Amino acid sequence: MANLSDLEEKIEPIIKAIYETYEKKEATEQARGYIGASVIGKECKRALWYAFRWVDREQFDGRMLRLFQTGHLEEPRLVADLRNTGATVWDCDPATGKQFNAQDHGGHMRGHCDGVAKNILGTDRSPHLLEFKTHSTKSFAELIKKGLADAKPMHYWQMQWYMGQMKLAKGLYMAKNKDTDELFAAYVEFDEALYQKIRDKAESIIFSDRPPEKIHSDGKYYICNMCSFKDVCHGTKPPKFSCRTCVHVTPEPNGDARWSCAKRQDLDGLSIERQRAGCDEHLVIPDLINFADAIDAGDGWIKFKRKNNGLEFIVGFLDSELPMYTSHELCSAHDHNSIGNEDIDRIRKHFGATIEG
Ligand code: SF4
Ligand code: SF4
C-alpha cells in the first residue's frame, strides 16, 4: 500500500502550481485607478487612500484569488435561479451590453453592479438592484443572525451607493453558503442619508493630498495586522514610485478620472500609463516616508531628517553637501538604512551609482 505521506508529497506540487497560476495572473494585472464601490465601506480610510494612490500593491495568495473567483462564478447561477422564479433579470445594461456601470466624483469612484431585476416575488414588482455574495458557514450564520446592514456593512454600503447612483429605491441581496448551498435573501430600502455619507467619505479620500488618520496607532491591532499596507503605514517600507505618490499630482473633480500635474505643464494630461511611469521630477509625498521627518522644502527638493540617527538628506535637486537622492531611489530602497548613510553615499558618488533596490 502506498505511503500516505508519499502521496501527499506528490499531490502538493499540483496544488502549489494551481495557486501559482492565479498569483502569476494577478501579478500581470495593474492596480485599479479608482476607488471601487465594493470597498468604500472599509473601516480604514487610510487603507482606501493608499490603494487609490498605489502606495503599495495589495497582495493576495493564490487560494484567496481563487476564492474571489468562486464568488463571481456563482453570479450567473443566481441570475438563472431568480429567472426561474419568474423575475425579469438584466445582468447587463441593455443600453451597452456590458455590466451596469456607475461612477462618481469625476470618475474617481466606480463600480459594476451584479444586475437589476423586476417582478421579484414578494415585492411590488418594481426594479430592484441586485447584489450576489458567497459566504462561509460562519459568515452566513452571522448574516442570518444580525441582518445584512450589521453583519456585512461593506456589502450594504456598496448596495446603497449603487442604488443612489442608479436611482433605484429598492434592492435585493442574495447570499449563498458555500458549504451547504443554503440561500439567503434580504430586501434593501434606499437610505438617502447613508448614500450622502458614503459619497462624502469617498470625496474626502479622493481629494485629500495626504493620507487620512490611521485607524489605530498599533500595527498589531487586528485590522492593521491583516492590512496589505501595514509595512508602509506602520513600518519603514517606502511607497511605490508613480505620479500618485508625487506632491505635484492632483485628482481633478471634473472629467473622466482625470489627474493633473502642477509641475509638468508640457505634458498633455496624465494618462493612466503616464501616471504609472512617473517622471524625473517626482517628489515624494513626505507623509509617506516613515523613517524620516521632512524638515524643510523648496522648489524641487525636500530636506529630511532620519528619526533613528538624526542624519539629514535631500530628496530632489539642491546645491547642498548633504546626501542627495532622486525620489525614484528613495522609493526603490529595500533597506531604508541605505538612505542618508554617509559610507554608502561616498560609494555612490565615487561610482556615480544610484540606489535601485
Ligand atoms: S495598517 Fe491599519 S491604519 Fe494603516 S492603512 Fe492598514 S488598516 Fe489603516
Ligand atoms: S512631476 Fe512627474 S511624477 Fe510628479 S505628477 Fe508630474 S508627471 Fe507625475
Could you give phi then psi for residue 209, rounded to 5 degrees?
A: -90, 5
Cell readout for 266 is 508640457
Q: Does residue 311 have a pLDDT over 90?
A: yes
pLDDT in tens, 255-308: 899 999 999 877 767 999 999 999 999 999 999 999 999 999 999 999 999 999
Q: Three-state secondary structure along 157-204?
A: HHHHHHHHHHCCCEEEEEEEECCCCCEEEEEEECCHHHHHHHHHHHHH
The CATH number of the structural domain formed by 35-206 is 3.90.320.10
Give me the mean pLDDT over the 215-240 stretch. 96
Domains of the chain: which residue ranges?
35-206, 240-351
Q: How many CB atoms lie within 10 A of CB 102?
A: 16
Separation of CA 127 and ligand 1 centre (Å): 38
Q: 3-state SS string over 278-340?
A: CCCCCCECHHHCCCEEEEEEECCEEEEEECCCCCEEEEECCCCCCCEECHHHHHHCCCHHHCC
Which protein residues are within 6 Å of ligand 1, measured from CB? Answer: 44, 46-47, 50, 214-216, 223-224, 227, 229-230, 233-234
Kindly state the average pLDDT of the residues 4-13. 74
Sign (positive or negative) of CA dihedral 336, 338, 340, 341: positive
Inform me whether the pLDDT recorded for 2 exceeds 70: no
Note the residue count of the chain.
357
Among the bound ligands, the one closest to the CA of 277: 2
Q: What is the mean pLDDT of residues 311-335?
A: 91
* Per-residue confidence (pLDDT) for residue 1, from 0 to 100: 58
Give me ligand 1 centre to Cα 48, in Å.
9
Which pLDDT tens digit goes with each residue over 72-124?
999 999 999 999 999 999 999 999 999 999 999 999 999 999 999 999 999 99
Q: Which residues contact 350 (CB under 8 A, 6 or more apart)?
A: none
- The amino acid that residue 193 corresponds to is A
The model carries a pTM of 0.91
Q: Which ligand is nearest to the CA of 209?
A: 2
Q: How far is the CA of 239 from the centre of ligand 2 (A)?
A: 15
The alpha carbon of 232 and the centre of ligand 1 are apart by a number of angstroms equal to 9
**Amino acid letter, 226:** M
The residue contributing the CA closest to ligand 1 atom 5 is: 47
Mutational test site, ligand 1, from 53, 210, 217, 230, max ligand atoms within 8 Å of CB? 230
